[in-house]
Chains A and B, each alone.
Chain A
Amino acid sequence: MSKIPAKHYGGWGNYTLNIMPGLIFCFAFGALARWMDDHIVPEELFIVNYVLIALLLGLIIRNILPGLGKLEDGIEFASKICLFIGIVLLGATLNLVEIFQIGSSAIIMVAISITLCIFLCGWMGKKIFNNERWGHLVGAGIGVCGVSAIMALAPAIKARQREILAAIGASLLTDIMVLVGLPSIGHPLEFSDTLAGFIAGVVPSNTAQCIAIGHAYSDPAGVVATIVKSARNAFMPVVILVLTYIYVRRGLPVGEKVTPVMLWSKFPKFIVGLLIAATLGTLGIISPQGIEWSDELSTWFFVTCFVGIGAGIDIKSLGTRDLTVLGIGFLMTILLALYAYFYSSIILLL
């Protein structure tokens, strides 16, 4: 996680001024997405909702209009921090018991998927590129939590810039595939919200995208996806620790030392906020009307974030990444989706 404001802003005043244009841009298009969902999109077209519209509006504008440089700081703020705020507010609408039930069901499921993903990607990396480290980086990205896992693991296993970029490309590809695939396959096959939420929580790589994809299916699926993804993120320190240990054992060069402070630094702190909010909601400290307000506000923060996520995807840069690594990403997405579907329906009986 990075610190805000970055040093080059020189202080909070300058930072606020810099993020405002992009933040207003994301909020305005988010409001347009919600309006379009309510007034333009026919109800029969249930696949298209405000989440998809917001993502697409951001994606199209970013890739069609040149010179959005002045908006970039605000777009980054919207796609990260609005998501964190939205998750904390969403926490108020959740039941603490439900969180632990979903979380405990998800723990074993994600532990298996992460292990398989890293093992298979490492094996493919060794066979295809004779570079197991690259495979492990891709596997950690797809298996755990996309860009943040790749960036956290890269210094520990001394990955090169090209390897990092390709791994990020593969993780973004999984997100796009599930974003398109889950609503198109899940709705016709009548996947339950919980099943869709588990798939949205396990298969896409990046946290914001998991939550967006869950909400794109339905709001209850978005809640399940948020909890499952949080369980997955909790494995990030463990994965870094284990892989670093393996590389040390093999006598390979490693960078950053794994300490308790480093592990805590990788833990997403907004989960602390989500648990506090869920406790307040479950204990009845927040009134039912307060919970409604919290839910509505979290939707506004999410829709602002979704425009930011769409606007953060540069299609051209995805095309220039290593195609073989993207192929691994493609294959892993299909395998993970099948695994998530069968595990959820056979073992969790969803």
Chain B
Amino acid sequence: MTEEKNPGFFQIEDDWFGCIVGLGILLVIIIAV
């Protein structure tokens, strides 16, 4: 496998992104309600 070049900005795997956003929303709900 070839080493991927750094694109110069932060990237994240889409499933991790969905996981973190979902848990973030849940945290807001826990604090709000």
Contacts and interface: CB of A to CB of B under 8 A. Distances in A.
A1 interface: yes
B28 to A, nearest CB: 10
Nearest to A89: B22
B30 A286 contact: yes
Given A87-B22, A88-B18, A276-B23, A290 B30 contact: yes
Interface in B1-33: 1, 7-23, 25-26, 29-30, 32-33
B29 A81 contact: no
Contacts of A5: 9, 11
Contacts of B12: 3-4
B9 A84 contact: no
Contacts of B11: 3-5
B21 to A, nearest CB: 5
Given A12-B10, A89-B25, A293 B18 contact: no
Contacts of A286: 26, 29-30, 33
A181 interface: no
B25 A85 contact: yes
Contacts of B1: 256
Contact of B22 (A10, A270, A290): A270
A287 B33 contact: yes
Interface residues of A, number: 38
A2 B33 contact: no
Given A85-B21, A290-B33, A1 B15 contact: yes
Contacts of A297: 25, 29
Given A3-B13, A4-B11, A270 B19 contact: yes
A85 B18 contact: yes
A233 to B, nearest CB: 11
A297 B8 CA distance: 34
Contacts of A280: 26, 30
A83 interface: yes
Contacts of B15: 1, 84, 268-270
A7 interface: yes
A270 B17 CA distance: 8
A331 interface: no
Contact of B26 (A270, A277, A289): A277
19 contacts: A1-B15, A4-B14, A5-B11, A7-B7, A10-B9, A80-B14, A85-B18, A87-B22, A88-B19, A88-B22, A92-B29, A256-B1, A269-B16, A270-B15, A277-B22, A280-B26, A286-B30, A293-B29, A294-B26
Interface of B: 1, 7-23, 25-26, 29-30, 32-33
